[in-house]
Amino acid sequence: MAEEKEDLKDEPKSKEKKSPLMLIVIILLVVILLGGAGAGYFLFIAPKDKDTKKGDASSQGQALHQPVQKSYPIAPRGAFAGAIGPIKDLDTFIVNLTDAQGTRYLKVTIRLEMSSELLATEIDEKMAQVRDEIIMLLSSKSFDDISTIAGKRALKREIINGVNKYLSTGQVLRVYFSEFVIQ
C-alpha cells in the first residue's frame, strides 16, 4: 500500500515535468509555422513594387512629371541566345562621379552589340550624340549607384535606351564593359 501511494505521487510529478517541455515545443512549432507563413507571403504573394498601387497619389504625381522614355528589349533569348550580333567598340570614357567629396572618377570602355552591321555607320555618323548621351549618364552616377552588380546592369539598360533613341536603322541590343575602373 505504501508503494502504491509512492507510485501515485510520482505520476503527477512526471506529468508536471513533461507539461512545460511539451508547451515549449508547441510554442516553438507555432512560431516557426507563423514565420514560414509570413515569409511565404512576402516572397510569393505580396506585391513586388510599391509604386504599382493605384491609390497611391504620390506615385501618380511623380508619373506626371517624368518624361516618357522608350524602352528597348535586351537581346531576345531562345534558340539563338548564343548568337552575338556585330560589335561596335567605343573609345574609353573618363568621367567624374557625383559623390559628395567629388574625388572619384570612372574609367569605362564600352562595346555595343548591334542588331545589324548597317548600324555601325549610323553610330559613326551620330557619334557626337552617342558619346554625349553616355557621358551624361555616366557622370550623373555616384559610387553607390554603380558599385554593385545590380547598379552596373541598370547602367547598361540606361545606356541601351539612351543610345537607341538616336538610332533609326537598328538597335543596340547589349552593352559590354571591357574596362570598368572606379577610383
How much is the pLDDT for 18?
Answer: 60
CA–CA distance, 63 with 53 (Å, rounded to integer): 13
What is the distance in angstroms between the CA of the first residue and the CA of the last residue of the chain? 89
56 pLDDT more than 50: no
How much is the pLDDT for 57?
Answer: 45
C-alpha distances (whole Å) from 103 to each of 45, 95, 111, 114, 137 are: 44, 11, 26, 34, 18
How much is the pLDDT for 22?
Answer: 85
Residue 108: exposure state from Cβ atoms within 10 A (0-12, 13-18, ≥19):
buried
How much is the pLDDT for 63?
Answer: 45
pLDDT digits (tens, 9 = 90+) for 8-52: 555 555 555 567 888 888 998 988 988 888 777 777 776 665 444
How much is the pLDDT for 177?
Answer: 94
Say which CATH architecture domain 87-182 belongs to. Answer: 2-Layer Sandwich (3.30)
79 vs 158 pLDDT, higher one? 158
Q: Where are the chain's structural domains?
A: 2-50, 87-182
pTM above 0.85, yes or no: no
pLDDT digits (tens, 9 = 90+) for 60-111: 444 444 444 444 444 444 434 556 889 999 999 999 998 777 688 899 999 9
